């Protein structure tokens, strides 16, 4: 099946630094990519939707200057947490919307997630 | 707004036991319903889905029926295996806006031999 990777799988950083998380679709072209955030024992919450070559659409309450999203190609989207603080510590999951092969239905494929800990 | 509520875990069962994980939803429109599974260290994988009322999704022995009257989409399996140990997420998507997925909090299943 389709594979979406995320890098790094976990990161620890100091408060005030910026952290970049990559999301790649490995064997298909993703028309749209999504970024989710998950707190312990809570639901995945959609943060933003990004389409290749255009600005990301952020959900209400998500700071676009805090969480910078760049969808530079059909296989890569990046999420940069700027000036990270301890409250940004969370599990970040991306998904990519696309299809494998001609005529197949589009669906969403999820990455394994990136655990961020800000000290 | 749209939301999903699923039973809290962890759920611990012996191999070959019957599994039910409850999921109920709130939606203003006519959503599609999904169950995703996440194995340790891996991404979420689509397990099954149903796109309209009374549809039954099934895969790998798991099944769930879209019940509009009770706004439920409970996951069942007749005989679980150790390899089924994972976290299971119930989710809905707004049919008018495929981009919007709403997830439950996840239920961890532990199956003991």
Query: CB of B2 within 8 Å of any CB in chain A?
Result: no
pLDDT at A102 over 90: no
Nearest CA in chain A to B37: A110
Contact state of A46 with B42 under an 8 Å Cβ cutoff: no
For residue A90 the two structure tokens come to: 């969370």
Contact state of B43 with A34 under an 8 Å Cβ cutoff: no
Nearest CA in chain A to B49: A107
A33-82: pLDDT as tens digits: 999 998 876 778 889 998 888 889 999 999 999 999 998 888 999 999 99
Nearest CA in chain B to A93: B43
Which of A4, A32, A111 is closest, CB to CB, to B99? A32
Query: CB of A113 within 8 Å of any CB in chain B?
Result: yes
Q: What percent of chain A has pLDDT over 90?
A: 58
Report in angstroms the alpha-carbon separations of A67 from A77, A86, A89, B65. Answer: 12, 14, 13, 38
Contact state of B103 with A49 under an 8 Å Cβ cutoff: no
| 3-class state of residue A36 by DSSP | strand
pLDDT at A101 over 60: no
Contact state of A34 with B45 under an 8 Å Cβ cutoff: no
pLDDT value of residue A77: 93
- Give whichever of A33-42, A51-60, A84-93, A107-116 has the largest mean pLDDT: A84-93
B17 Cβ contact partners less than 8 Å away, ≥ 6 residues apart: B79, B80, B111
Which of A36, A43, A112 is closest, CB to CB, to B42? A112
pLDDT along chain B (113 residues), means of 10: 88 97 91 90 84 94 96 97 95 72 91 96
Chain B CB contacts of A109 under 8 Å are 43
Question: Under a CB-based contact definition with an 8 Å cutoff, are residues B13 and B112 in contact?
Answer: yes
């Amino acid at each position: 099946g389709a594979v979406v990777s995320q890098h790094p799988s976990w990161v620890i950083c100091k408060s005030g630094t910026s952290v970049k998380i990559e999301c790649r679709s490995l064997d298909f072209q993703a028309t749209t990519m999504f970024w989710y955030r998950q707190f312990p024992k809570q639901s995945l919450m959609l943060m933003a939707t990004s389409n290749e070559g255009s600005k990301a659409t952020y959900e209400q309450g998500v700071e676009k200057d805090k969480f910078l999203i760049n969808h530079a190609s059909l296989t890569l989207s990046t999420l940069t947490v700027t000036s990270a603080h301890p409250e940004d510590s969370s599990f970040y999951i991306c998904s990519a919307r696309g299809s494998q092969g001609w005529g197949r239905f589009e669906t969403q494929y999820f990455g394994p997630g990136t655990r961020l800990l800000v000290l | 707004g749209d939301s999903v509520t699923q039973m809290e875990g962890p759920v611990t069962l012996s191999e070959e036991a019957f599994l039910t994980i409850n999921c109920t939803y709130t939606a203003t429109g006519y959503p599609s319903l999904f169950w995703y599974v996440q194995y340790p260290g891996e991404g979420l994988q689509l397990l099954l889905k149903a796109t309209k009322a009374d549809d039954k999704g099934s895969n790998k022995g798991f099944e769930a029926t879209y019940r509009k009257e009770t706004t439920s989409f409970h996951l069942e399996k007749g005989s679980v295996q150790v390899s089924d140990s994972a976290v299971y997420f119930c989710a809905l998507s707004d049919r008018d806006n495929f981009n919007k997925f709403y997830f439950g909090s996840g239920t961890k299943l532990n199956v003991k031999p």
